[in-house]
């Protein structure tokens, strides 16, 4: 079996007396985009900084490709590319100078420096800005340079902390596309407090709330975490709400106006079958019926409660 790219065992960290992270354990296999989700101050950045070797944990162990980050921090870091929330850019260098500098810092051999920089310039769509000073680039392009420095040494794991923070909608779309492209041949961990970001980009979700891991699974599992309990109905010639309420399995009826209703139920399929049958028999002319999924925000709120 392949060694997980990241293995975290009983990780805890505190700043003075305040625990930022408490007893977190998880494994991340090779490949895929893993969203580290949580509200502001939940412990996401602390967890990422420990994984990337920026800060040393108070308790627990972190292994990158089987390498213990405490015992062999330099070896572990060879496998990691990191883009912190504020990209570590030098404004007075040109894009090319900066990326050459980063490649040397990451032990890219001298004979491969030029080709490594060319590759990330092309991949991040910044070749035409190679001679421009970084301070003269827009926020979106500075973010691309930050991503380029994180992948210039071809790491197996790339970690992005809030990569679309402060960008406009077009720049956000471009950065998401770039992250998906990068994830085709490596593992990506992406931290965010924006739920739609996770849905748009990630395959898997880890959710941290108040320093504890409260959820780990696929995006679909996250979406279905709260079992849907309402049906949405639309009818051309609807009956009175009292008649709908009498149908077996219906727990409550809410009139939404414009011939539309929301129905709470016990068992979705049975209630749908009965409504369809009644509608056909009594000519209610049912035009739409669907199970309403819980909103991501309500799932987030539900999971947040678990942390308390």
Over residues 75-113, the pLDDT tens digits come to 999 999 999 988 999 999 999 999 999 999 999 999 999
pLDDT over 90 at 9, yes or no: yes
Start-end of CATH 3.40.50.300 domains in the chain: 6-223
Which pLDDT score, from 0 to 100, does residue 227 have? 63
- Residues 200 and 203: their CA atoms lie apart, in Å, by 9
Q: May I ask the CATH architecture of the domain 230-292?
A: 2-Layer Sandwich (3.30)
Strands 187-192 and 32-37, sheet pairing: parallel
Kindly report, residue by residue over 175-197, the tens digit of the pLDDT: 999 999 999 989 999 998 888 88
| 47, 53 Cβ separation under 8 angstroms | no
pLDDT over 70 at 306, yes or no: no
Residues forming beta bridges with residue 265, ordered by sequence position:
250
Kindly report, residue by residue over 215-256, the tens digit of the pLDDT: 999 888 887 776 667 888 999 999 888 899 999 988 889 888
Start-end of CATH 3.30.70 domains in the chain: 230-292
pLDDT over 90, % of the chain: 61
pTM listed for this prediction: 0.78
- Label each residue of 157-181 as H, E or C: EEEEECCCCCCCHHHHHHHHHHHHH
CATH number of the domain located at residue range(s) 6-223 in this protein = 3.40.50.300
* Residue 201 CB partners (closer than 8 Å, separation 6+): 33, 35, 176, 179, 180, 190
């Amino acid at each position: 079996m392949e060694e997980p790219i990241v293995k975290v065992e009983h990780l805890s960290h505190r700043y003075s007396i305040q625990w930022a992270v408490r007893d977190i354990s998880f494994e991340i296999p090779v490949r895929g985009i893993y969203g580290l989700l949580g509200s502001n101050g939940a412990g996401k950045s602390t967890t990422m900084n420990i994984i990337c070797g920026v800060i040393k944990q108070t308790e627990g162990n972190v292994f990158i490709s089987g390498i213990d980050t405490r015992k062999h921090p330099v070896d572990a870091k060879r496998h990691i590319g990191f883009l912190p929330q504020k990209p570590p850019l030098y404004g007075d260098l040109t894009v090319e100078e900066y990326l050459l500098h980063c490649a040397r810092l990451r032990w890219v051999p001298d004979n491969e420096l030029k080709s490594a920089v060319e590759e990330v310039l092309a991949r991040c769509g910044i070749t035409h800005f190679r001679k421009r000073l970084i301070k003269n680039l827009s926020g979106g392009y500075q973010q691309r340079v930050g991503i380029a420095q994180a992948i210039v040494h071809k790491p197996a794991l790339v970690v992005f902390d809030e990569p679309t923070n402060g960008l406009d909608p077009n720049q956000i779309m471009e950065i998401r596309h770039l992250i998906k492209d990068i994830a085709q041949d490596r593992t990506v961990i992406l931290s965010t407090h924006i739920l739609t970001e996770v849905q748009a980009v990630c395959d898997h979700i880890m959710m941290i709330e108040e320093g504890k891991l409260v959820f780990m699974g696929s995006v679909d599992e996250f979406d279905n975490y709260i079992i849907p309990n309402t049906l949405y109905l639309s009818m051309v010639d609807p009956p009175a709400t009292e008649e709908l309420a009498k149908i077996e399995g219906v727990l409550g009826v809410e009139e939404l106006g414009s011939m539309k209703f929301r129905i709470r139920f016990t068992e979705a399929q049975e209630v749908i079958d009965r409504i369809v049958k009644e509608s056909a028999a009594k000519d209610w002319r049912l035009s739409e019926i669907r199970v309403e999924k819980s909103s991501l925000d309500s799932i987030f709120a539900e999971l947040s409660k678990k942390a308390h």
